[in-house]
Each structure stands twice: as C-alpha cells, then as structure tokens.
Amino acid sequence: MELASILIVDDCVESVALMKDCLVIAGFSVSTAHDGEEALGILENNHFDLVVLDLTMPKMDGLEVCRILRGKTPYIPVLILSARGDVTDRITGLETGGDDYLIKPINFMELLARIKALLRLMKNIVVDGNPMSKKEVQLGHLIFDKVRRCIIKEDIIIPLTTKEYSLLSYIAKMPGKVVSKETLLKKVWGYSHSGYNHTIETHINRLRSKIEEDPTNPKILLTIWGSGYKLVNTITNGDTIIKNGNDVDKTSDQI
C-alpha cells in the first residue's frame, strides 16, 4: 500500500525534524521545507496528500502559501500550525483556506489525530463523488456541486475547502433535520470533545459567507438554538422543498 505523503513547512529546524521522525514512525512519507517559497517550489513538482503549514516564516508566510494553494488543483488539505492562539488568528487561518488549526506547542498525538482525520475526509470526498452519488444539490438560488467541490452562484464558481465540503455534504444528507454539534464533531472532524465547538462555529460562519445572501441572517443553513444546525430551502426532483423554513427561533444565536 502506498504511504500517504505529507509536506511539513516550518522554519524551525528542530520542530520539523521532530515532526518528521514521528510521522515517519507512524507510517507516512514525509518531505520538508523551511519557508513558503521553498514549499511552493516543492509542491509545484510533487504530489502530497496533506500539508502541515506553519504561519510565521521568512520570505513568504503561511497565510500567503495557503492563499496560493487554494487557487490550484488538485485540492490539498492544509493543517495550520501556529503559536498564535487568539480566536481572531484562528479564524483568519481558517478563512484563508486552512482545513484545521493546531496551536503550538504541539502535542504529537493530537497532531497525528488531526492528520488522520483530514486524510479520512479526503478519502470520503472521493467516495462521495462517485457517479452513484447525487452530484448536485440546489440550495435556494445556489448549486452545491459535490463532484467539483464548489458552490455555483450565478455562474460564478466558489471553491470549498475540505472541511467546508465535508460539513455541507453531511448536513445535506439530512435536509430539514437538525444535526447536532456533537454529531458534526464526530462525523466530520473525528473528535468527540465538546471543547472543539468553536471549530464548528468558525467553519459554519465561513460556509455561510459562501452560501447565504446575508450570513448574519441565514436562510439556508439555520441554527436551531440548543440543538444544532439545519439545512432548508433545498430542491429535490425539480420541486422546492422548504422544510420548516420559518422554524428558526427568533431568540436563537446564529452560531
């Protein structure tokens, strides 16, 4: 069986060496780079299943590398590493295109768990994109293209990250039904700890920015206070199905 290939990008030589040794022992094929420009050069000529990307680096920082990667195909999941633990920094990293965010100092077991979860998601995306799956879901005036992993809005293609795609795909399997945060953590992230709720909230907000006319007043991906999230205004077999479209608690928050 071919080993999953990972590129580690970090300017700290000691950290890179330690992560590489640990991941090789765990059964991965690992390459390394120590700045953004070197990383892009390696990525230009080699295929990787995942990139572990530090934010603060010389020549080109991790955010810029992530922006450039999101403009390329095929899609490569990115796990961001950073000593910046502020919520704003995490949101910026995720909104730039990161699929997950891990704060330094890194616990190797958590790093390994996050990597495995992202690789599982990519595998599920390939399976979900087979011809037997429903290729498109209409969300109000938008099209969710499950094969190309994007939102189509008035002929404009809006790409989705791995997590955004997996999150929307899972909720879209149950239109009109409430999906709890706990279920999403387990099914989409592979976690069971409620301490990761902020991760879901960040991705929900980012997803809404792509599918809602007004993300602060969502009409497609609704919050059901105390329960979870629900997808409405979908179209099946040419008929509009608005399942409990008015069933949003007016007292509910949008996260």
Q: How does pLDDT run across 45-57, given as a tens digit for each residue?
A: 898 999 999 988 8
Checking 196-202 for CB contacts under 8 A at 24+ apart, the result is: 198/87, 198/90, 199/100, 199/101, 200/167, 201/255, 202/90, 202/91, 202/94
pLDDT in tens, 52-85: 999 888 888 888 998 888 777 677 889 999 887 6
* pLDDT of res. 134: 57
pLDDT band per the 50, 70, 90 thresholds, residue 1: low
Place of tokens 């995720």: 94
* pLDDT of res. 238: 40
Q: What is the CATH number of domain 136-241?
A: 1.10.10.10
Domain boundaries, the chain: 5-128, 136-241
* pLDDT of res. 196: 62
What are the CA-CA distances from residue 226 to residues 183, 188, 195, 242, 254 (Å)?
13, 20, 16, 22, 11
Rounded to an integer, what distance in angstroms lies between the CA atom of residue 152 and that of residue 144?
A: 6
Amino acid identity for residue 7 in this structure: L
Mean pLDDT of the chain: 80
DSSP 129: T
Query: H/E element holding 128?
Result: helix 108-128
pLDDT band per the 50, 70, 90 thresholds, residue 250: very low
**Lowest-confidence range among 108-117, 190-199, 246-255?**
246-255
* pLDDT of res. 112: 93
* pLDDT of res. 235: 53
**Fold match, 5-128 / 136-241:** no
* pLDDT of res. 125: 58
For residue 90, pLDDT beyond 60: yes
Mean pLDDT of 104-129: 79
Place of tokens 């580690």: 8
Q: Report yes or no: 81 and 9 within 8 Å, Cβ to Cβ.
A: no
**Structure pTM?**
0.61
pLDDT in tens, 163-174: 888 888 888 888
Q: Report yes or no: 100 and 118 within 8 Å, Cβ to Cβ.
A: yes
Contacts of 84 (CB under 8 A, 6+ apart): 55, 56, 90, 103
Q: Please give the CATH architecture assigned to the domain spanning 5-128.
A: 3-Layer(aba) Sandwich (3.40)
For residue 35, pLDDT beyond 60: yes
Q: Report yes or no: 240 and 233 within 8 Å, Cβ to Cβ.
A: yes
Q: Give bridge partners of residue 134 from the DSSP assignment.
A: none
Mean pLDDT of 110-133: 69
* pLDDT of res. 197: 67
